[in-house]
A and B are shown apart, each in its own frame.
Chain A
Amino acid sequence: MIDMNCGKLKKNAFRVTKNRGVTSARVRVPGGHLRADVLGKVQEIAETYGSGEVHLTIRQGFEILGIPFEKVDEVNKALQPIIEELGINQSEKGRGYDSSGTRNIMACVGNRICPFANYDTTALAERIEKAIFPNDLHVKVALTGCPNDCGKVRMHDFGIIGMTEPQFDPTRCISCGACVKKCKQLSVEALKMDKNRPVRNVEKCIGCGVCAHACPTRAWTRSKTQYFRMTLLGRSGKKNPRMGIDFIKWADADSVVKIISNVYAYAQKYIDPEAPGGKEHIGYIVDRTGTEEFLRWIMKDVNLPPKAEIYKPLYWDGIRYSGLK
Chain B
Amino acid sequence: MGYAVSLEKFQTVFDSWRKKYDVYAPKVFEGTGRFSETDVVRYGKVTDLADIDWNDRSEYSFKDILLPLSQTLLYFTEHGMTESEGPTRGTIVFLRSCDLHAVKRLDYMFLENGPEDSYYKRVRDGLKFVLMGCDHDFDGCFCVSMGTNVSTDYDAAVNVRSGGFEIDCKDPELAQAFLDMGAAEADVTPDAVMENSLTVKVPENLTSAVAKSSIWDEYDKRCIKCGRCTVACPTCTCWSMQDLFYTENGQAGERRRVQASCMIDGYTEVAGGLCFRKKAGERMRFKVLHKVLDFKKRSGFQMCVGCGRCDAICPEYISFTHCVEKLEAGMKEVSGHE
Contact = CB atoms under 8 A, between A and B. Distances in A.
A177 interface: yes
A118 interface: yes
B81 interface: no
Interface stretch (B6-14, B27-35, B100-108): B27-35
Given A171-B68, A177-B265, A196-B244, A221 B32 contact: yes
Given A173-B70, A216-B226, A216-B231, A164 B36 contact: yes
B34 A212 contact: yes
Contacts of A170: 70
Nearest to A226: B36
Nearest to B244: A195
Contact of A209 (B36, B40, B266): B36
A226 B31 CA distance: 11
B237 interface: no
Nearest to B34: A213
Contacts of A218: 29, 32-34, 40, 42, 60
Range of interface residues on A (Cβ < 8 Å): 20 to 34
A260 to B, nearest CB: 22
A213 B226 CA distance: 11
Nearest to B59: A218
B251 to A, nearest CB: 15
A119 B36 contact: yes
A214 B264 CA distance: 13
B69 interface: yes
Given A174-B259, A174-B260, A196-B242, A222 B32 contact: yes
Contact of A171 (B29, B34, B69): B69
Interface string A199-236: 00000000001001110111101101010000000000
B258 interface: yes
A119 B266 CA distance: 34
Contacts of B245: 195
Interface string B101-139: 000000000000000000000000000000000000000
Given A173-B258, A174-B70, A178-B226, A221 B31 contact: yes
Nearest to B265: A177
B227 interface: yes
Contacts of A162: 36
Contacts of B32: 218, 221-222
A217 B313 CA distance: 11
Interface string A165-193: 00000111111111000000000000000
B69 A172 contact: yes
B36, B226, B242, B265, most chain A CB atoms within 10 A: B36
B36 A174 contact: no
Contacts of B228: 216
Nearest to A209: B36
A67 B283 CA distance: 63
Contacts of B242: 175, 196
Interface of B: 29, 31-37, 40, 42, 60, 68-70, 226-228, 231, 240, 242, 244-245, 258-260, 264-266
Interface of A: 111, 115, 117-120, 162, 164, 170-178, 195-196, 209, 212-214, 216-219, 221-222, 224, 226
21 contacts: A111-B37, A117-B35, A117-B36, A119-B36, A119-B37, A170-B70, A171-B69, A174-B69, A174-B231, A174-B264, A175-B240, A195-B244, A196-B244, A216-B227, A217-B231, A218-B29, A218-B33, A218-B34, A218-B40, A218-B42, A219-B69
